[in-house]
Structures are given as structure tokens and as C-alpha cells.
A and B are shown apart, each in its own frame.
Chain A
């Protein structure tokens, strides 16, 4: 990360001010039920400042539901979600300018140019020197040639880079990412991972990412939370999981867990 970007991050940090030292994410006894269906069944975890944590799980494991509750998009049935010290069911507005989010399942308006979209979101997040910040991010995310193109005319990979630029506009202390390298070719995906890692290190930011790309998780994450049927069944750094399951790759560990076997190959009970 270049020095001007580091300076912008320092500026943003100075602006954030209030409660900057709060734990990025603290979740206790979190439950979400839809009628008779339990999507999240009592999660308790915290995310340390400056860490990169991966949230893994098969389809329907509860990852998206958990992220939606962390963002305040979904109200828990019971339990507590605190993000940067704020209760997300009641105080989301207190910290919304200090976090950001990227997901391939949400989009920015198609008819607006990339620059217009970034400009609107920069203002929503209270970014100062909007044009300068967009210029800096465009250079970093290699989207400068796309700035005056309509969002709807970008390739999926270009859209992902633009979405990441939007997610970094306010130099967030906490970045929530859903499949951050979906639709990217391996080279660009690798570059994005490096950038995210550098960003987290330079900013001291925390990242929580949901991903099905195990190579990505091994590369980025300090810690892995594996969910199954709404519960966390593993919580450890990637090397510890590899040792515990005696596997060479995280993908092999993941497959063993989602297929219902514990580290000893016997049918798993939730912890």
C-alpha cells in the first residue's frame, strides 16, 4: 500500500474517533429462527482487532444469516450482536460509518457510472475529499479506466473490483466480505487477496469473510470458524485445523466436517 493511501487511512481513523478501541465483533448466544426452522443456533464468538477471520460452512449452514445480523439487516431471535461496541439491533447508526460490506449478491445502480456510484457512496459514508479518495482507490484497485463507464457494462470481475473499491471508500475498521473474489480470474483474485491482506495490516482493520474458496481462506485468514446447521463446529487457525484433522489442505478438512465426520473420522456432534 502506498504512502498516500496510508495517510488517507490515518485521516479516516482520526475521523472515526469515538470508541475506536472497541472489540470489532462480539456475538453472544446468537439465535435466529424462521418459524420452526433454526438458521443460527446459539453462536458465541469475538473477532480480535486487526484479525482476518473466515466464516466457512456448506449451503444453509447459517453464514449469510450471521453476516446479515452483524450488519443489522436481520434482527436476531435472541442473543446479542455488538459491532465496534454498538448493539446492532438498536445502535447501528452509531458505527455504520466505520464498517463496510461487499457481496456479489448486491449491486450498485447499473446506469450510473463507476465514478458516480462511488461518489454517492462516499458521501453516504461521510468521506471527505471525495474526488481524491476515489482517485486513490481507483489506482489501488486498478479501475481508473473504468471510472466513466456505466456499472451495468462491466464484466463480473470488474464489478467485483468496483464493489471492493466501494467497500474501502471509508477506510473501514471492520470489513465484512461475502465471497470477495467470486468471478475473478486466478491472477486478479490473487492480487485482490494481497491487497486485502495489505489493507488489513496497514489500517489495523479487521476482516470477516465468508468464502467457499479454501485456498483463499488459507491465504488470508488468521482464524477459521466452520459452521454447520447454525452452529460453530470448529474455531481455530488454519494450521491447527490441518494438524487436528491430519489433512494437507483446508478443503479436505472442510469436506470431512460438512460430510459429518469429526477429526477422528467418526460422526460429528455439534460443539
Chain B
């Protein structure tokens, strides 16, 4: 299956440009805002790269999910999913290939933008060191969990539910405290935010950049939540798939 997506990119190199385009635009916008704020507020002067770091980590979550979902949707758009589902490819193998592709697509977009962040704004994402690996792993796990859920919904309810694939990630944007600390949220909303793994990642990133401290316990909490999220995403995908086999929506995919 990964070979199948590699062929797709070789047939349409413009897709590679698209993978880098939005992260680059975001980097520029938030990078220049960061410069402006750093000159005028002590918080941003203290935490150099706070906004750029948030942008880049948010992109890991968002692009990871979109990368998974786009590869899934490609099969729906191509009317190819029915042929795949009657082939020896198992649902688990299919999900594994989508997960690998989401990481590969993400890296294509992230690596050039990470280099540009260093060159243009002097922010070295790789300079985060070991914490970056923990941030990356937790964010990509959340992205897979969300993508499995939305792919399952689309499998069951068809391409009419495609909007969910694009929109669900944005629901997390205000709740996960990407650009501001948890305390900004009203008290009743904070437990909701803390139940989301990315909140711990963004809080952890701010702690590293502002205080130079890596809170490993926070990453373990994020990982624990991700285990629940991944299990829920996987189970929901399998249930939607089974439901689609009952409702007949799989056999209508090609027609």
C-alpha cells in the first residue's frame, strides 16, 4: 500500500509542494507576529520561539491527521476502496499503511519548514532535543486516533461526512491550549482540556521554552490518554466498518 502512495506522488509531484505550502505560510505569519510580540512583551521576549514552536507542533497534530485522512479519501475518490476491501489486505494492514503514510507526508512538509524556521527566525525545533521526540510521538498518536474515527464515519456514512475529516482537528485548536496556557481557559473547561493528550504536549513545550524544564510525567500522562484515544479510534473504526458491511454502504462505494 505504501508503494501505491509512492506511485501517486511520483505521478503528481505538485502534491509534494502542497504538503509544504501551508506549513510554510503559517510559519511566516506566526513567525513575524512572534518577532513583533517579542519586541513589545516580556513573556515572548523570555520564551523565544513560543509561537513558532506552537505552530510547528500544531502542524504535527493537524498534518498527521490530514495525511492519514487524505490517503484514505484518495481510495474513496478513486472508487478503489471496494477492490482493496475484497483483496487480501486486512483492515489492520490498511490502517498501518495509512499511519506510515501520515508520518511520511508530515515529514515532507515539516523538514523544510523546520529548516526555514531556523534560517529565518533562528528557532531551532531540533534544539528541543529529547522532549521533541516525546512531543512528536504523542501528537502523532492523537492524530491517528482522530483520523481512524473520522475514516470510520466516512466509511459508514459516505463522502457526505467528508467535512468531518477536515473540521475535527480544528475543534482541538482552542481546547488544546496550542497558543496560550491552560489557565486562560475558564475553570469548567480546564478538565476537558486536560483530558486531551495534546494539551499536555503544548503545556510541556511552554515549560521547556519558558523555564527550560522538561516534565516527563506530563508526557507519560499524555501517553496514557493516547492509549485510550488510540483504542477508542481503532474500536470505532472497526465498529463503523462492521456497520458499513451490514448497511451495504461498502458495496455502494463504487457505484
Q: Do A and B bind each other?
A: yes
Minimum Cβ distance to chain B for residue A157 (Å): 18
User: Whole-angstrom distance between the alpha carbons of A152 and B82 in the complex?
Assistant: 18
With A75-B245, A125-B88 as given contacts, are A111 and B12 in contact (CB-CB < 8 Å)?
yes
Minimum Cβ distance to chain B for residue A97 (Å): 5
Q: Which of B11, B245, B250, B255 contacts A112 (CB 8 A)?
A: B11
B70-83: CB near A (< 8 Å → 1, else 0) gives 00001100111011
User: Whole-angstrom distance between the alpha carbons of A175 and B244 in the complex?
Assistant: 24
Minimum Cβ distance to chain B for residue A176 (Å): 8
Whether A109 pairs with B4 at a CB distance below 8 angstroms is yes
Whether A106 pairs with B82 at a CB distance below 8 angstroms is yes
Whether A106 pairs with B242 at a CB distance below 8 angstroms is no
A interface secondary structure, majority: mixed
Whether A108 pairs with B83 at a CB distance below 8 angstroms is yes
User: Whole-angstrom distance between the alpha carbons of A123 and B8 in the complex?
Assistant: 16
Chain A-chain B contacts (Cβ-Cβ < 8 Å), number: 91
From 52 to 104 in chain A, residues with beta carbon under 8 angstroms from any chain B beta carbon are 64-65, 68, 71-75, 93, 96-97, 99, 101, 103
Size of B's binding interface in residues, CB under 8 A: 31
Residue among A34, A99, A106, A124 having the largest count of chain B Cβ atoms under 10 Å: A106
Whether A71 pairs with B89 at a CB distance below 8 angstroms is no
Whether A121 pairs with B251 at a CB distance below 8 angstroms is no
B56-70: CB near A (< 8 Å → 1, else 0) gives 000000000000000
Residue among A71, A74, A109, A110 having the largest count of chain B Cβ atoms under 10 Å: A109
Chain A residues within an 8 Å CB radius of B3: 119-120, 123
Whether B87 pairs with A121 at a CB distance below 8 angstroms is yes
With A64-B251, A105-B254, A106-B83 as given contacts, are A75 and B74 in contact (CB-CB < 8 Å)?
no
Interface flag for A160 (CB, 8 Å): no
Chain A residues within an 8 Å CB radius of B46: none
Whether A111 pairs with B254 at a CB distance below 8 angstroms is no
User: Whole-angstrom distance between the alpha carbons of A161 and B254 in the complex?
Assistant: 18
Whether A108 pairs with B88 at a CB distance below 8 angstroms is no
From 28 to 71 in chain A, residues with beta carbon under 8 angstroms from any chain B beta carbon are 34, 64-65, 68, 71
Interface flag for A150 (CB, 8 Å): yes
With A107-B80, A116-B7 as given contacts, are A73 and B245 in contact (CB-CB < 8 Å)?
yes
With A93-B90, A105-B255, A106-B82 as given contacts, are A65 and B248 in contact (CB-CB < 8 Å)?
yes
Chain A residues within an 8 Å CB radius of B87: 96, 121, 124-125
A–B pairs, 30, beta carbons within 8 Å: A34-B248, A64-B251, A71-B86, A72-B86, A73-B82, A73-B85, A73-B86, A73-B250, A73-B251, A74-B250, A75-B242, A75-B245, A93-B88, A96-B88, A103-B254, A105-B82, A106-B80, A106-B253, A108-B78, A109-B74, A111-B8, A112-B8, A113-B7, A113-B11, A116-B4, A116-B11, A119-B3, A120-B4, A124-B88, A125-B88
A-B pairs with lowest CB-CB distance, top 4: A106-B254, A68-B251, A96-B88, A105-B254
Known interface pairs A96-B86, A107-B80, A120-B3; 18 further A-B residue pairs with C-beta atoms within 8 A, sorted by A's residue number: A34-B247, A68-B248, A68-B251, A73-B250, A93-B88, A99-B86, A108-B78, A109-B74, A110-B78, A111-B8, A112-B7, A116-B11, A120-B1, A120-B7, A121-B87, A124-B1, A124-B87, A124-B88
Residues of B within 8 A of A (CB): 1, 3-4, 7-8, 11-12, 74-75, 78-80, 82-90, 242, 245-248, 250-251, 253-255
